[in-house]
Every structure is written in C-alpha cells, then in structure tokens.
Amino acid sequence: MIIKSNRELKKLYHKLQSGDIFTGTLSSGHLKQSIMIDLLERGVHCFPSPLSQMLSSSKAAQAFVLKNKMLLDTCVIVRRTDLIEAINRYNKNKIGSVVTKEDHMHCGYGIRKWETVESLYSHMALSESSYPFVLQPFLENFTDIRVIIVKDYVEAYSRYNLNNFRMNISAGGASHPYKINNDKEKFCRSVMERGKFPFAHIDLLITESGNYYLSEIALNGGIKGASISRKDLDQKKQDMLENLANGI
C-alpha cells in the first residue's frame, strides 16, 4: 500500500503494515516525532526519510547531527550548563560577537546577534523558554549561497543585504545567480547523504578565505532567487518520491 497524503495516512494509520509506503512530509505538529518513530518500528517506508524530515524542521537538531559540516564552534544550547560551557570555550578562543538561531523559526526572523556571549547569558537568565537554540560565532564578511538540489537538477544563487546581516530575501535581501563548482556541490550532496535528504534547499556560508560551511538545510524553502518555478520544482520532487517508492 502506498499512501500519498497526510489525510490518507490518518485514515489508514492503524491498518499500515510492514512494507507499506508513505510519500510526503508529515504534518502532525507535536506528534510528528512519535508518529515517525512508530512508523519506523512498524516497518513502514517513508519518503522523504524520517531523519530528513526531523532535521528539516529543527535547526537545533541540524546543529547536533550535522555539526561537523558547520562553522567551527557552532553548538546546540539545550540548557544553562551548555551556555556556561560555551562561554568558557568562546572566551578561550577569543570569539566576540555571536549569533543565535531560534529553533523552528524560519525566514531569518529567529536569527539574533549578540555583542558577546556574556550578554546572551544575561538575557537567557530571564528567558528559560528560549531553549533549545543554536549558537555560533558571528561572521563579519561572508557570502551566503542558497543551493537547490533535486537529483540531477542543481541551481544556486547568492543572497545579500546591504542593510542587514540577515541575508534572507524575505528579510529584505536580494539575490544573484551563482555558479556552484564541483567541490561545493559534492559538499552539499555529502550533507544530504548524512541527513538522508532525497532533495534539499541548502544554505552555505563562504568565508573570505574561501572555506565553506553548512548554515542550514531543508526539504523545502524559498526560491525567490531561483529561475525554476515552484510548480516545476514541486513536480521534480514528487517524481523523485514516486521513483523511490516504486523502487522498494
């Protein structure tokens, strides 16, 4: 049995058996993790993979699982003890300004800059509800690249904002086509392989020295700077999911 929608999944959920297939992104809010685990335990195949769906919806999970692909000293802060440890490490490495990324917040709205990690700690003393979040050094100068990959289709564009360190187009940024080289494409595909993403929207940070790091990855994302239409991109994704399902 192949299920292609959340409505159909909900209707037939308790009839699913090992070997059945669900193609689509699960949209069950706070129950998502529990349902994904249950489907895995019951032997139901999911496309996109449960891992990619969980990573796509959580910046904190990405920073934990894909940490070795990200900017050095990027870490997940889950509790106050983690932040104290980060203060020691950041000060030892003479890291000044820092950036935090709020979990589950998109379009650049959850990104905040702090002059020091100590000022962040002072704020967090009064805001326990903000955990978990991602912490990383603030880069003064870098190139922000959005890469879209669906099987053999690859497109990239740079994003920039002269008035804001947030490069997201939805936050006031602009874009320009970017030709991605083989090394960067291989890096992106290695990130996808680690997170079991069948397709992805990947944000890269390229430093002044030419080093590049993963910023974020998602199964879906903005394409305002891309040449492909949303309709055509969605069709490519759907075709790929169907091919994966038929290959079982």
Q: Is the four-CA dihedral 17, 18, 21, 24 of positive or negative sign?
A: positive
Q: What does the alpha-carbon distance between residue 153 and residue 150 come to, in Å, rounded to a whole number?
A: 5
Question: Residue 42: what pLDDT?
Answer: 96
**Does the 72-137 domain belong in CATH 3.75.10.10?**
no
Inter-residue contact 206 to 186 (CB < 8 Å): no
Rg (CA), the chain: 19
Q: Which helix (H) or strand (E) holds 32?
A: helix 32-41
Write down the pTM of the prediction. 0.91
Q: At what angle do helices 117-124 and 80-92 cross, to 10 degrees?
A: 170
**Pick among 2.120.10.70, 3.30.470.20, 2.60.40.420, 3.40.50.720: CATH of 142-246:** 3.30.470.20
Residue 216 burial (C-beta neighbours within 10 Å; 0-12, 13-18, 19+)? buried
Q: Which of 8, 11, 15, 45 is nearest to 241 (CA)?
A: 45
Q: What does the alpha-carbon distance between residue 150 and residue 235 come to, in Å, rounded to a whole number?
A: 10
Question: Residue 122: what pLDDT?
Answer: 87
Interacting residues of 15 by C-beta distance below 8 A, sequence separation 6+: 1
Interacting residues of 248 by C-beta distance below 8 A, sequence separation 6+: 19, 21, 45
**pLDDT truncated to tens, each residue of the chain (248 aa)?**
999 999 999 999 999 999 999 999 998 677 888 999 999 999 999 999 999 999 999 999 999 999 999 999 999 999 999 999 999 999 999 999 999 999 887 767 788 999 999 999 888 876 766 889 999 999 988 999 999 999 999 999 999 887 777 777 776 778 899 999 999 999 999 999 999 999 999 999 999 999 999 999 999 998 999 999 999 999 999 999 999 998 87
Inter-residue contact 124 to 80 (CB < 8 Å): yes
Q: How far is CA 128 from CA 11, 59, 102, 132, in A?
A: 38, 18, 13, 9
For residue 43 the two structure tokens come to 């032997």
Q: Which of 190, 100, 199 is nearest to 149 (CA)?
A: 199
Q: How far is CA 63 from CA 16, 59, 165, in A?
A: 33, 6, 20
Q: How far is CA 217 from CA 41, 61, 150, 244, in A?
A: 26, 11, 13, 21
Domain boundaries, the chain: 2-47, 72-137, 142-246
Lateral strand order in the sheet of 111-114: 75-77, 133-137, 98-102, 111-114
Question: Residue 64: what pLDDT?
Answer: 96
